[in-house]
């Protein structure tokens, strides 16, 4: 359930107004911690349905933060590819 709530808080709403997209406004150290926690959660989760929700969170976050030119954080790119 926390992965679902996290995903709702971190991802874009689809509106033109990005004020609800909080990821760019959090500290860089928090972003790094978040990525590490998502990676660890995915590695350690044994319940398939929960792992799927963590993957959904990673995928949506990655698609929101990955630049269209392909230059990105290697870890989040790898996670995105693993989840699809």
Show me where the domains of the chain are located: 2-82
What pLDDT is recorded for position 23?
Answer: 81
pTM score: 0.68
Degrees to nearest 5, angle at CA 67 with 29 and 81 = 85
Neighbours of 15 (CB within 10 A): 9
More confident residue, 16 or 22: 22
According to the per-residue pLDDT averaged within each range, which of 16-20, 31-35, 80-84 is highest?
A: 31-35
pLDDT digits (tens, 9 = 90+) for 25-81: 889 999 889 888 888 888 888 998 888 888 888 888 877 777 655 555 666 666 666
**Looking at residue 27, what is its pLDDT?**
92
């Amino acid at each position: 359930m926390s992965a679902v709530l996290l995903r709702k808080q971190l991802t874009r709403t689809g509106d033109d107004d990005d004020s609800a997209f909080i990821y760019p406004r959090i500290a860089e150290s928090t972003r790094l911690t978040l990525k590490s926690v998502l990676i660890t959660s995915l590695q350690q989760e044994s319940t398939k349905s929960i792992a799927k929700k963590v993957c959904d969170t990673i995928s949506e976050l990655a698609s929101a933060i990955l630049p269209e030119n392909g230059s990105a954080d290697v870890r989040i790119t790898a996670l995105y590819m693993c989840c699809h």
